[in-house]
Chains A and B, each alone.
Chain A
Amino acid sequence: MKPCLDIRRLSAVLPNGQRVLRSVSLSVQPGEVRALVGESGAGKTMIGKAVLGVLPKSVRIVEGEMLIEGDDLGRLDAKARRTLIGARTALIPQDPLTALNPSRRIGAQMTDRLVRILGWSGERADKRIRQLLDEVQIRDPERVLKSYPHELSGGMRQRVLIAAAFAAEPRLIVADEPTTALDVTVQKQILRLIAQLQRDHGTAILFVTHDLGVVAKISQKVSVLYAGKMVEEAETAQLFAAPQHPYTQALIAATPRYTDPYTSLKPVDESVLAGLKAEIAAADKDWRPGHG
């Protein structure tokens, strides 16, 4: 089976030549949730943006390939690339308030993508959106569709964006820290919804998060990143049962667990980070685009 997303040896640099992605390879199979976990600066959001074709101008991809369902994005011109990305992918963003236009009603914003990008009729888009609002368990769609973003709670806004993301049946959804801004009880509801819709629609998800707890609950596979480098990848169950890389082990041990207050929350040993940095520096020294 062709992977839904296939990233091969992707490297990106800033204008000053600093590498922000270091020969990252990962694939997401159809219908699978792949978590991308790392601390700030790990490059996890960068990878999501690269997939969606919305990297900041200052970041330049210098090597590697990205394939969506076997189609190499690098071989398409800009317009064809945008069309393909628009048709097959969607985003669930971190902060629903900044992702929504404050001065337009929810209903209009939800149908935008369907009508303007995919060319659906207004009626068809409207019907589809109501169907999805039902799937994300919004019981009063009339009120929500007429609301402005500030009139909804954080959890409601995130439900709306999840519905919008699934509406056009994308093959792949990039979920970029979709529950980080939410309270724990709301987070659980939202994770439950994402898992439910993901299963029902058979959508693949690239789930970007910094929270190993969320990784454990939502994903089947996981990639651990540090400073733009893939540190470890594994089946999620395997990663928690027997983490291989010292950095992964340290991250898991540093994550607080109320069930285990005194063995969790272990500060990461400096030597682990020093080892990683040395590894990266050595790789960078010999690296030339195309020969990494």
Chain B
Amino acid sequence: MAEPLFSVRGLKVALPDMTRKPLVGRAPLAEILKGLDFDLPKGSVTGIVGESGSGKSTLGRALVRLLEPSAGAIAFEGRDIGHLSEGELRPLRRDLQMIFQDPMSSLNPRHTIFNIIAAPLRQNGLGDRLKERVAEALHRVGLPQTFASRYRHELSGGQRQRVGIARALALSPKFVLADEIVSGLDVSTQAQILTLLEKLAAEMGLTVAFISHDLSVIRRLCQQVIVMREGRIVEASATDALFDNPKEAYTRDLLAAIPLPEIDADWLKPKAPA
């Protein structure tokens, strides 16, 4: 297996628990991630799956260092970035990019698509040849050049998500975090976006953490899978092994709960007592 881009050991993240915040003073911390160990091999797509509250998004945000771990190490290319300051992270930012769930709220309504894609280029010292770079980014995701002068409201949901991908990839990052990037899209559009990401990840040799609640999508896109529950890793393995031979009961339950688009009269029958 390729050497890891990310090597994570004993990762814990604690966040303020606002439901227990006293009227005056700070909210107590709740441990969201309770000690995770895993590697993300270079050039691979890793699926991170779990139900709501499992900590999958928190994990993603820790990887791109939007959150600071409370314990453990996040080694990126062999260097622990877990406790770097904002200033120290700055040169790493272009290598750690994100594609967001909702392209509507993650694209500035008052900027043209050109400016949306250009902004991170400017900030990361790639402000020369802007037109060329933006044109290339649009081309890469299959959007016509005329879209550069448009605004987000003039685009369909699928086109907006293409812009989100174009912006993330414009910087030629080493790592892309894709957090539920198709859960707001219709199935017909979803398939287009996923096959696009699949193609680009392979072409550009990207390392991707693909967070999703949908195991069907993960099987197609990812080389390995991490199953999470309540802040812990339940099971992590190569994709085919996980689907063909799930070791944990929880993984089997997740798979059995997916309604596949095919007739199965027994699916809704109450579970036979074990």
Contact = CB atoms under 8 A, between A and B. Distances in A.
B217 A188 contact: no
B191 A214 contact: no
A216 B157 CA distance: 26
Given A212-B187, A266-B191, A267-B191, 12 more contacts: A191-B259, A210-B186, A212-B261, A214-B259, A254-B191, A255-B187, A256-B219, A258-B218, A258-B260, A261-B216, A265-B194, A267-B195
Contacts of B218: 258
Interface string A116-143: 0000000000000000000000000000
A65 B204 CA distance: 56
Interface residues of A, dominant DSSP: helix
Contacts of A148: none
Contact of A184 (B213, B219, B220, B261): B213
Nearest to A189: B257
B262 interface: yes
B89 interface: no
A184 B187 contact: no
Given A240-B262, A258-B216, A184 B51 contact: yes
Interface in A195-238: 195-196, 210-218, 236-237
A40 B186 contact: yes
B254 interface: yes
Chain B residues touching A, majority SS: helix
B31 interface: no
B52 interface: yes
A218 B261 CA distance: 11
A101 B70 CA distance: 38
B253 to A, nearest CB: 6
Interface in B238-273: 243, 253-264, 267-268, 270
Interface of B: 51-52, 157, 186-188, 190-192, 194-195, 213-220, 243, 253-264, 267-268, 270
A185 interface: yes
A191 B267 CA distance: 10
Contacts of B194: 256, 265
Contact of B188 (A192, A254, A259, A261): A254
B259 A188 contact: yes
A211 B259 contact: yes
Nearest to B222: A261
A183 interface: yes
A250 B192 CA distance: 12
A256 B259 contact: no
Contact of A265 (B220, B262, B263, B264): B220
Contacts of B267: 217
A258 B215 contact: yes
Nearest to A199: B268
B219 to A, nearest CB: 4
A184 B217 CA distance: 14
A183 B52 contact: yes
A186 B174 CA distance: 36
B264 to A, nearest CB: 7
A237 B262 CA distance: 8
A148 B219 CA distance: 39
A192 B268 CA distance: 5
Nearest to B157: A40
A268 B259 contact: no
B261 A267 contact: no
A191 B51 CA distance: 17
A210 B187 contact: yes
A236 B261 CA distance: 11
Most central of A213, A254, A257, A258 by chain B CB within 10 Å: A258
Given A216-B264, A236-B263, A237-B263, A185 B191 contact: no
A109 interface: no
B255 to A, nearest CB: 7
8 closest cross-chain pairs (CB), A and B = A213-B259, A256-B216, A268-B188, A39-B186, A183-B51, A261-B220, A212-B261, A258-B216
B213 A251 contact: no
A168 interface: no
Nearest to A255: B261
Nearest to B158: A267
A25 interface: no
B219 A261 contact: yes
Contact of B254 (A185, A210, A236): A185
B254 A217 contact: no
A235 B268 CA distance: 18
A147 interface: no
